Amino acid sequence: MKKVFSLFCIVLLIGFQIKAQTTITLQPDESSSKDALIWNITPTTPNPLAPDFIATAWTNSGNLSIIRSLIDFDFSSIPANATILNASLSLYHYTSTANVGHSTQSGSNMCLLRRITSTWNENTVCWNNQPTTTTQNQVIIPQSTNDTMDYPNINITNLIKDIINNPSSSYGLMMLLDNENYFRSMLFSSSNNTNNAKRPKLVITYTTSTAIDTCITINTNNSSWKDAAVWNITPTVGNSVAPDFIATAWTNSGNLSIIRSLLKFDIAIPNNAIITSAKLSLYHYNSAANVGHSTQSGSNAAVLLKLTSAWNESTVNWTNQPGTTTQNQVFLPTSLSDTMDYTNIDITNMAIDFYNNPSSNYGFLFKLLDENYYRSLLFGSKDCPNSAKLPKVEICYHINTAVNNIQQNDINISVTPNPFSDKLNLNYVITESNNVSIEIFDLLGKRILNEDLGKQTIGSYNHQLTLDNQFEKGIYLLKFNAGKHTKNLKIIKN
């Protein structure tokens, strides 16, 4: 056993020479921060010291009152050759003395985070001179479910990648409501707040590497690609050849008509790969059967939800549609035009989950966030007659030399969720009585956990690991030992 462990550490160290992983936390205070709010009621007045980081649409003396917020961070500690693996922003509610808190009084208070593309000065920025923004890789902050809701670990990885990769056209983030009609609001603490724990916090994990990503495109020509639509009006009828990949809520003979779509593909990349990005592109087209993009009665924002059970493309219908989980869900914002394409949707965390747990890769469900009529998003499916409108996925990855050349025996094991926050569930099958143990290593080869589960007989097992304080955010290697058999799995803490 000692020789096996030594070889494992040596290989890990070789991998580390190629790629080192670092996690930084940015949570500046008033003296080192750059944030401000802008208000249409006082369009020429700057407000750099407000304790509120807010997006609101309300009234002021009978007039529509809109506030947006801006924030920037100091990224100078991130080296030029860094590859961003993960970036999460945490925003914390607090009770403001000046503004309404979270409110959905007249509808959804869903917000957007957009990259700012022109310069601004914290002390002079106002409504009239507010900087420009881009919708590229914008991030949805979903509607609040209670008045004091915090939003920890909002995934803004692609936004931070854009900022790091395009410093000459990146100047922080703007938060604004998706719908700026009164009465709705979302309120958090700014960096100027007196409560240190409530200030915005950005956690970034990156690697420094000279390695070049390998990128593959998975399209509808791939034999593993399948999609289908399900419709509540014909609840027992499947539709596997529809040209529409659609999420809609409309009416049919006076009844509420809801259509959702399902999609699945396999990720065929090397076993020792680390996925750095995964992007889904969907293309609008003019359907003969359904309404296209529509916001007739409100936002047509949608969500991609990971499916939790198997489905057959030819027989799936509304009644037997598989269940879903919100883990690593992906939001699609309200369309800005009737023919808007949605290219490079960030599905990285979902793809990592599919790759690490192929036996539970059932694809995802596409549905509207609000399934009250009239609203719709429509794209081409794999059966779309226009080849330019077919969906596709691009996945980029590094080869992880840290696990190259390590013998892997066929052990039936899965880990969920992955990425994880603090608890990791192992489901595995023992085919012969053996002593079982679990080891976890960081990318330096340092063993952080060694848990002996004792001798286990033939059967199926579930074991939960609590991986909290001693584990920083990042990538780790889990080694599962059953007698002479081993299995090495990559796990990610977010």
pLDDT of residue 211: 60
Q: Which residues contact 152 (CB under 8 A, 6 or more apart)?
A: 88, 90, 91, 92
Q: pLDDT tens, 326-344?
A: 888 899 999 999 999 999 9
pLDDT of residue 297: 93
pLDDT of residue 2: 31
Burial 223-257 (b: 16+ CB within 10 A, else e): eebbbbbbbbeeeeebbbebbbbbbbbbeeeeeeb
Token couple for 75? 């990224």
**Which amino acid does the sequence have at 381?**
S
- Confidence (pTM): 0.63
Contact 473, 23 (CB under 8 A): yes
Integer angstrom CA distances of residue 192 from 52, 113, 129, 189: 8, 19, 22, 8
In the chain the domains, ranked by start, together with CATH numbers, are 24-209 (no CATH), 215-399 (no CATH), 407-493 (2.60.40.10)
Q: Which residues contact 120 (CB under 8 A, 6 or more apart)?
A: 36, 70, 129, 130, 131, 171, 172
What DSSP line would sit under 402-424, residue for residue?
GGTT-------EEEESSSBSSEE
pLDDT bin (cut points 50, 70, 90) of residue 493 is confident
Token couple for 79? 């080296």
Q: pLDDT tens, 89-138?
A: 999 999 998 888 899 999 999 999 999 999 999 999 999 999 999 988 89
Q: pLDDT tens, 214-271?
A: 899 999 988 899 999 999 999 999 999 999 999 999 999 999 999 999 999 999 888 7
CA separation for the pair 468, 22 (Å, rounded) = 18
Q: pLDDT tens, 39-53?
A: 999 999 999 999 999
The conformation of residue 144, written as its DSSP 8-state character, comes to P
With a pLDDT cut of 90, the percent of the chain lying above it is 62
Contact 445, 9 (CB under 8 A): yes
pLDDT bin (cut points 50, 70, 90) of residue 410 is low
